[in-house]
Amino acid sequence: MSVHPDVRRMTVPQLLACKGHRKVVALTAHNVSTARILDDYVDFILIGDSTAMVAYGLPNTLSITLEQIAQHTAAVVRGTQRACVIADMPFGSYQESPAQAFRSAAYLLEHGADAIKLEGGSVMATTVEYLVSRGIPVLAHIGLMPQYVNTMGGYLAQGRTEESAKRVMDDAKALEAAGAFGIVLEGLAEAVAANISSAVSALTIGIGASVSCDGQILVTEDMLGLSGSRVPKFVKRYANLENEMRQAVERYADEVRSSKFPELQHCFAVKKD
């Protein structure tokens, strides 16, 4: 009999049950080593299309492919036991039709995702309903939507005018009605995000929105200080790992060049007969 405890991965219904009871904690990951650490502390891990920028150095989220997201999803699943794993649907993998969205989402679930995330307001409600009715849990994403950067004219906060606030609220209600279990609210005026959180039964996950949201998410590299000097206003840095990494690499380089590393304790001796 196994001596290991029976660890069960958090499910989408369990996430949704947190609404009104406790805050949901989420971060992003795209590799085993990061996912393994996050798994002890977060409720869900998102394999975000932000991987395009933090892992591949691309200028925005638009160029990452479905196949890349799928491989990163599989890696995160291998590195975790308890966190719910949610995969982003890349730009161009779901906007054409609900059928296209289903094929893409099913591909991500085949690679271990428990749910998918997609961007878009009321216009995506039909697609959300199509996916949910066919067994695919959907986390929606409204407000500031990075995949809409070209039509929005940049990464601009939303909900700051009466018209914009109404549009975002309408989007949230349409996505809730379509069956989305949760809605990411990004870059929204605080009061608008708070109003949406109390108006919908879906889980609201804030990123640059409001403490009133049902949970929060950040890009892990941003909050750990691994994204360089420029980060969004809404990011709080909980560490500066870039400095720590620089110091460690500098020390290693110095010891190699001065023949201080490796020491005998790091080497193998010849076996004696």
Task: Please provide the DSSP assignment of 89-149 as one string.
Answer: PPTTSSSS-HHHHHHHHHHHHHTT-SEEEEE-SGGGHHHHHHHHTTT--EEEEEES-GGGH
* 35's tokens: 């996912």
Task: Name all contacts of 263-266 with Cβ < 8 Å and 24+ positions apart.
Answer: none
The pLDDT of residue 181 = 99
Is residue 41 within 8 A of residue 216, CB to CB? The reply is: no
Mean residue pLDDT across the chain: 96
pLDDT tens for 104-127 read 999 999 999 999 999 999 999 999
Single pTM value for the model: 0.95
Report the 10 Å Cβ neighbour count for 88.
30
The pLDDT of residue 231 = 85
Q: Tokens 């996050």 sit at which residue?
A: 38
Is residue 178 within 8 A of residue 128, CB to CB? The reply is: yes
Whether residue 67 lies in the annotated active site = no
pLDDT tens for 88-102 read 999 999 999 999 999
Distance CA 196, CA 228 (A): 33
pLDDT tens for 221-262 read 999 999 987 888 999 999 999 999 999 999 999 999 999 999
Q: Which domains does the chain have, with CATH numbers?
A: 12-239 (3.20.20.60)
At residue 87, does pLDDT exceed 60?
A: yes
The torsion angles phi and psi of 213, rounded to 5 degrees, stand at -60, 160
pLDDT tens for 30-48 read 999 999 999 999 999 999 9
117 marked ligand binding residue: yes
Report the 10 Å Cβ neighbour count for 167.
16
119 marked ligand binding residue: yes
Average pLDDT over residues 128-142: 99
The pLDDT of residue 143 = 98
The pLDDT of residue 1 = 43
pLDDT confidence band for 2 (50 / 70 / 90): very low
The pLDDT of residue 6 = 67
pLDDT tens for 153-183 read 889 999 999 999 999 999 999 999 999 999 9
Average pLDDT over residues 184-207: 98
Distance CA 178, CA 118 (A): 13
The pLDDT of residue 229 = 78
The pLDDT of residue 272 = 85
The pLDDT of residue 111 = 99
Determine the straight-line distance between the first and last CA of the chain, rounded to whole angstroms.
Answer: 42
Catalytic, out of 186, 190, 255, 263: 186
Distance CA 184, CA 165 (A): 15
